[in-house]
Chains A and B, each alone.
Chain A
């Protein structure tokens, strides 16, 4: 864990890690975090009564042949988190989203430098299609990020390795 993330989580005692390719939905008051966001994207959805979900998605959409979990893809992660939030009592139109990640950590021959940007764009499209407004973002740029999502405070803290911390 980086010092930046340790600082972010210093006051947390019940944080749950969301690994690459995973999503989690938690009841009121729980904290979620994700680290190692380079080109990948963190999608935080805030529901009513401090319910919330966090996904660490790697890709935009599944290829037909892939058998991977819903959390790997922006599209399925958003739909599954929203479904679980609604099952838990959230109403349509009562959720908001925050996004972080999608950086170009380095440019390398053979890697699309805008993969992260495209993944963020897919997240925006999917959330818009489901009437979930994106209320704050910390996306793009060249730094990797880690995030901590405090569902009780409805606050997404974004930290980079150079010590910069932003509250969304």
Chain B
């Protein structure tokens, strides 16, 4: 099966429009102003939500041109608000059954709004089942794996005070994926197996990067989130927090080309530098150089792995460091890519140290034309996932003595 990028872009817009319609209905019904923060298409097994485990989902099954499961995940705070708006004041004591009924009703309204957005665009009939309330993570497990290409549509909807209200998701079946995005041929067509290969390549790259961090710093890390997504470039900044970050950016060239961005939150960066240098604390320039050097080695580790598999050469730029708002830091990359393309495959992951507060977000944004060339190469190269390392059991004396200071000595004679 081949994935057609123009069709993928079209269904992305349908999903976004469906989410807008659902948000509008929510706003009109409950008088809580909401907006779609972003829409993304995730590849691979549908991810579990970032929502709190105390949150709930309302799911419906779809049949017809759209076939699969559609569900809305409500954050706990908005559940309470919905129930207060719909049943509050009628009873002295909260009525759980009435609360569930209200939630089911709102969930059905949102799911149906989302589906109506698609149905209008597709001019197709779509049957929907009655809604059911489920625990978070359950709805996506109810859909049979959609080989040869698993994908899911996600839209995050925020309230006007910028907190997350709910997330809409559609997980199509294999037949539905084929109906929506497949093609026989085309300049911008991607073999599904190559996209799966890319996903594996990226995951292997993350494993290699994690090993590099541990080797350099002695700090064991995990990667709680790790995803390949397709997103409108204009909506990419909304994926990035606007908190202040110590950031390192790289451009890389050849097959593929694109940008890599490392965002260290301030507390995490300080903790990292403390781990590297120990107490007493370091000066600002040393901290900057340590972070820059760590990002530089991680980038080499990632790109060398890709180049080995693809049998190409991938060069990367010198690091560009800045300390600024996350959304403002990704903005120049978005602007640069915007001149050439409207959508992007984005691979993002979080690296988190076990037992410390160190957290690092990494975004890889390839240029589409060069990514397509890389994917052509992957069509003929089966890639095996690397073995997952055994789970880490922290010990009291975790070594942190790798001498990043040694790396810095050449910069600071």
Contact = CB atoms under 8 A, between A and B. Distances in A.
Contacts of A20: 234-238, 327, 331, 334
Interface string A53-91: 000001100010011110010000000000000000000
Contacts of B216: none
A66 B342 contact: yes
A11 to B, nearest CB: 14
Given A69-B234, A105-B329, A111-B336, 8 more contacts: A19-B235, A19-B237, A68-B234, A103-B328, A104-B332, A105-B324, A108-B320, A146-B328
Contacts of A37: 328, 331
B188 to A, nearest CB: 12
A151 to B, nearest CB: 17
19 contacts: A5-B242, A17-B35, A20-B235, A20-B237, A20-B238, A35-B327, A36-B330, A40-B331, A59-B338, A106-B247, A106-B320, A106-B332, A108-B259, A110-B317, A111-B251, A115-B332, A144-B324, A146-B242, A161-B323
A5 B320 CA distance: 25
A59 B338 CA distance: 8
B54 interface: no
Nearest to B333: A111
Interface string B322-363: 111111111111111011001000000000000000000000
Interface SS, B side = mixed
A40 B233 CA distance: 13
Contacts of A52: none
A39 B335 contact: yes
B160 interface: yes
Contacts of B259: 108, 110
Interface in B236-282: 236-238, 240, 242-244, 247, 249-251, 253, 257, 259
A119 B334 CA distance: 14
A16 interface: yes
Contacts of A67: 342
Interface string A22-63: 000000000000011111100000000000000000110001
B318 interface: yes
B251 A109 contact: yes
